[in-house]
Amino acid sequence: MLKKSILQNCKYSGLNIVAKYMNGQKIIKSISILFPTQRRNATKFGVNQILMAVTLASVSGINRICKIAAFSGDGLVKCLLKLDKAINVNVISATLKGLGQAGARKLQSLLLATNAGWLRESGMKSIALDADSTVKSVCGSQEGAAKGYNTTKKGAKSYHPLLVFVSEMKLLYHTWFRTGSAYTSNGIIDFLKEVKASLPKTVEKVFFRADSGFFSGKLFDLLESFTWDYLVKVKLKNLEGLLQQQNRVPVKGQKEVAICEFFHKENGWSKSRTLKVMRSIKEYAQVEYLGEKQIVPVYQYVCYSSNLDLDAVGLHELYKQRSTSETWIEQVKGQAIAGATLTDNFRANDILWQLSVFAYNISVMMRQKKEKFKRQEHRTFIDWFIAVPAKIIRSGHQTEIKMYSLSRESGNIIFTKPTGRSLTSSSKRHKKQRKEVNMKITPRVYGRGTFY
């Protein structure tokens, strides 16, 4: 009879499934080929091991390099990455800095190609792209951080990444890591050219949607050359005064709503474009006029530029669907910890940002097939499937994960964390509810320092 020996406890046993999914998608193999390690006598860790440690840490909701180093010492992580010991903090930082701009661009191209592959597998012929930017404040003087538009911490230095989502999949398709002083739409032309070049040929129709920060004649020219449909909120100086001068038509069945449209050409535009306006009553206010108190309506205006054949009300309803992308951005920053792990090097921070975004996308794609899981947030994905304590046991030449599953009446909790108390004779009821689940760890080894 074979003896079973407990190698180590692990806190994130769900990562075994994540690693199998990444192996099936050939993601780990691609990273290992793209970032080979030059072996020397003192080399103990491969570049691929460090990049994957950062990615798995982001999947688990872990930030800071010191915490990632401690995370790499987890029993399962060491087995998956073929590590003899935890990765040193200085090694992680030095490796990321050493990759430089060339490494950041190679990783960006790889992740864009991976996202394009997922989009191709979805079989969608028509997609909606939601463009946005987000501000990530920093504490310190990191390279590339600068003062810019910052609503949360005015005057603080920050980074200002640019990103675009495939709305139907909640997939963050492409992103650029930028300095904090960059305006919202800076670089959007070249950014969308990269997106267009990477889209699979199966996608026949694209709808582009963005807020007023992207209101630009050059952008409209580009989108029209792509034959994409677009909807962008208008941003002009003295916009409200301009809108008040227009003749509006009331909407049937909506007494408080009126619409209009007019041609407008800004300086530098190649041609005039139609702007569509909706006016609605925000509230009623009491004012005093010639000694008499009157109740008057307070109006609010929204204005859009679009090549869609819809009136202002239809465009407004379509634009409101964009609000969900704000939620996805918060998941990327707050739950996948994108931008929370920083060094004093801009390109290293760029790589860390991309790996965190990649972790978010892996979470999204693993949940695509079931609607129940698809609509959940990344934090819920971590709690349900990743942060599951277990024991790593070796029996003969096989290494297994032993964890416990506990069903709940609600059906929402798949795995539960143990209470930390040892089972005694007084806890027979808990013994009946528990069921041991064994999962084999099957990392593939193709040579020294390679774990895919």
* Stronger pLDDT, 156 or 3, i.e. the higher one: 156
Check residue 294 and give its pLDDT.
86
Contact 200, 187 (CB under 8 A): no
Rounded Cα distance between 202 and 401, Å, is 41
SS3 165: strand
Report the candidate in 79, 174, 169 with the shortest Cα–Cα distance to residue 128. Answer: 169
- The CA-atom distances, in angstroms, between 219 and each of 222, 327, 348 are 5, 25, 30
CA distances from 35 to 29, 49, 90, 98, 99 (A): 10, 10, 19, 12, 9
Copy the structure tokens of residue 170. 């909640």
In the chain, where the domains are located: 1-122+335-396+439-452, 123-334
| Digit-coded pLDDT (tens) for 189-203 | 999 999 999 999 999
Q: What pLDDT score was predicted for residue 296? A: 87
For position 95, what pLDDT does the model report? 95
Which CATH class name applies to 123-334? alpha beta
| C-alpha–C-alpha distance, residues 303 and 311, integer Å | 11
Q: What pLDDT, on a 0 to 100 scale, did the predictor assign at position 7? A: 62
Percent of the chain clearing pLDDT 90 (strictly above): 56
Nearest C-alpha neighbor of 9 from the set 436, 393, 420, 382 = 393
Query: What span, in angstroms and rounded, lies between the C-alpha atoms of 166 and 172?
Result: 6
Residue 61 or 406, more confident: 61
3-state helix, strand, coil in the chain (%, to 5): 40, 25, 35
pLDDT tens per residue, range 265-321: 998 899 999 999 999 998 988 888 877 888 888 888 899 999 999 999 999 999 998
Give 415 or 287, the one with higher predicted confidence: 287
- Say whether 284 sits in a helix, a strand or coil: strand
- DSSP per position, 250-273: EETTEEEEEEEEEEE--TT-SS-E
* 258, β-bridge pairs: 250, 279
Judge whether 125 and 322 are in contact, CB under 8 Å.
Answer: no
Mean pLDDT of 411-431: 37
Helix (H) or strand (E) holding 93: helix 89-122
Instruction: Name which residue leads in pLDDT, 51 or 431.
Output: 51
| Residues 131, 133: Cα–Cα separation, whole Å | 7
Of 140, 220, 208, nearest to 180 (Cα)? 140
Distance CA 340, CA 334 (A): 8
Question: Considering only 50-64, 195-209, 312-326, which range has the smallest mean pLDDT?
Answer: 312-326
Q: CB atoms < 10 A from the CB of 263, how many?
A: 9
Amino acid type, 221: D
Whats the size of the chain, residue-wise? 452
Q: How far apart are CA 101 and CA 105, in angstroms?
A: 6
Q: 328-351, pLDDT tens digit by residue?
A: 788 887 776 677 888 999 999 999
- How much is the pTM? 0.85
Secondary structure (3-state) at 168:
coil
Average pLDDT along the chain: 85
